Structure formats: C-alpha cells, structure tokens
C-alpha cells in the first residue's frame, strides 16, 4: 500500500507538470510554471534531490540545462554532472535526480523553440546530509474529507509522510509543515498561509484560483531534507 501511495503521488506531480484541464480551463505550460523541486533525501550514502518538469517537447524546446544559484538572483551556473553540464538527453525527459551537495536555488535554462534562451521558474531546495529519506508520502483530496467535492472551496486535503533511516527505522515527529497558495500560471507566486501548519487543510474562499502546496522540512539532526507537494486541483 505504501508503494502504491508513493506511485499515486508521483503520478499527480507528473500530471501537474504537463498541460492540464481544470473545470474546462486549460493551464498552459510555459517557463513560469515549468519546474517543481519535489524532495531531497539520502540513501546508500548518496544524497539526492528530485526535480520534475514538463518535457522539452511540451514547450517546443529541444533541451533544458539545470542551473543553480546560492541566492536565487545572481551567480547562476550550470550544474555539472561528471564535469559536464547536466542537460536533458531526450525531448520527453521530465525529471532530474541529482546530488546538489548544498542548499541552493535551482532553475532550468531552455534551449530551442519560442522560449530559447529563457529560464524556468526557480525553487529553493534543501540538500540532505543525514542518512534518512522520505519513504512514503500521500495527499488525499477526496470528498470524504469534508463532504465537499474538489475543486470547490471547502474541500479538504489530508497528507501523510513517513521518514526512515537507512536501516528502515521510522523517525517520528521530526517534520514541520507549512501550507502555501501557488499561482497556477506562475509557480514563483507563492503565499504562505498563516497558521496552516498541520497535516490537514480545509480550503476556503481565499484559496480560489490557487493550487495548495504543503512543504515538510526535517529537524536537521535526524533529517535535514525536505518534501514539497502541490495539490492536483485549483480551488474554485
């Protein structure tokens, strides 16, 4: 069941990075809503950060190159993988899983098509140096949560995250949570929701027109990675 939950959650992320329909409205993929830094962890003495994006083909591009910056504003440099720029090698590629080695901002440089020379939205990613990782995560947006069907305001989201050490020991009570509103057309337009720090969230009228995103971060000593998850629905 845990494996199924993980696959289901990944499937939702993949749907978000492609062109999607929400109540008959098309959400067009463009640089401003292209990339999502999902999570970091450390397994088998190897740290990783998972980054998802709409494939280059979806934008009419030929490839993307991963870039990093310490402050998210200046000094953007191409990320090197075995001493070479990390670039998509297929027009349908939709993710990178890389060791960023430090906390950093990430974005994609776009090559080819109408957005040639442009850049994706940027996101902040925390590097994980502890021998622990997120084994399972799931977000339930079903009607059973509040009796109101998504995407209508009032529907609920219920989340679950399991962090384990390399020996499979489950780490309890080490995550903190924060919910945000995210503009579907611009994933840098993110607003923190005051007081929304629980595993569950009930949408309100203030959420209309937005995705909901929860970010879980570790306590640094047991787990210093992160996971972010964006809702499948745009609140209406």
The answer to whether position 14 is within a domain reads: no
User: CA 124 to CA 40: how far, in whole Å?
Assistant: 11
pLDDT digit string, tens, across residues 37-55? 999 999 998 999 999 999 9
What domain count does the chain have? 2
Partnered with residue 182 across adjacent β-strands are 190, 211
Question: Is pLDDT above 50 for 6?
Answer: no
CB atoms within 10 A of CB 180: 17
The answer to whether position 10 is within a domain reads: no
The answer to whether position 174 is within a domain reads: yes
pLDDT at 10: 60
The answer to whether position 7 is within a domain reads: no
Enumerate the H helices of the chain as residue ranges: 2-17
CATH number at residue 109: 2.60.40
The answer to whether position 209 is within a domain reads: yes
- Among residues 108, 125, 142, the one where a domain terminates is 125
* % of the chain residues with pLDDT over 70: 89
- Among residues 109, 125, 141, the one where a domain terminates is 125
pLDDT at 27: 83
Q: Are residues 119 and 141 in the same domain?
A: no
Distances, alpha carbon 54 to alpha carbons 30, 42, 97, 114, 129, in Å: 9, 25, 15, 15, 28
pLDDT-based confidence at residue 98 (cuts at 50, 70, 90):
very high
230 and 182 Cβ atoms separated by less than 8 Å: yes
Q: Are residues 31 and 74 in the same domain?
A: yes
Range of the domain at 182: 132-230
The pTM score is: 0.91
pLDDT-based confidence at residue 61 (cuts at 50, 70, 90):
very high
Q: Which of 165, 179, 180, 182 is nearest to 225 (CA)?
A: 165
- Among residues 92, 125, 158, the one where a domain terminates is 125
Joined together, the tokens standing for residue 76 give 């953007």
Q: Are residues 31 and 96 in the same domain?
A: yes
pLDDT digit string, tens, across residues 117-143? 999 999 999 999 999 999 999 999 999
pLDDT digit string, tens, across residues 103-123? 999 999 999 999 999 999 999
Q: Are residues 100 and 146 in the same domain?
A: no
Question: Is pLDDT above 60 for 25?
Answer: no
pLDDT-based confidence at residue 99 (cuts at 50, 70, 90):
very high
């Amino acid at each position: 069941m845990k494996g199924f939950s993980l696959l289901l959650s990944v499937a939702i992320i993949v749907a978000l990075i492609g062109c999607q329909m929400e109540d008959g409205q098309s959400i067009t993929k463009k640089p401003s809503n292209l990339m999502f830094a999902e999570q970091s962890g450390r397994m088998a003495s190897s740290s990783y950060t998972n980054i998802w994006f709409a494939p280059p083909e979806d934008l009419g591009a030929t490839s993307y190159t991963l870039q990093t910056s310490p402050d998210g504003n200046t000094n953007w440099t191409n990320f090197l993988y075995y001493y070479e720029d990390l670039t998509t090698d297929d027009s349908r590629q939709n993710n990178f899983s890389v060791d960023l080695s430090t906390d950093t901002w990430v974005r994609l440089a776009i090559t080819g098509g109408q957005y040639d020379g442009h850049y994706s939205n940027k996101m902040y990613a925390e590097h994980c140096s502890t021998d622990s990782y997120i084994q399972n995560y799931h977000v339930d947006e079903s009607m059973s949560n509040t009796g109101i069907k998504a995407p209508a305001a009032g529907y609920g989201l219920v989340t679950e995250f399991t962090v384990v050490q390399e020996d499979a020991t489950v780490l309890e009570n080490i995550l903190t949570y924060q919910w945000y509103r995210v503009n579907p057309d611009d994933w840098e337009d993110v607003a923190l929701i005051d007081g929304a720090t629980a595993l569950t969230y009930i949408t309100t009228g203030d959420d209309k027109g937005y995705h909901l995103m929860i970010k879980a971060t570790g306590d640094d000593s047991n787990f210093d990675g992160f996971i972010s998850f964006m809702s499948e629905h745009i609140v209406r």
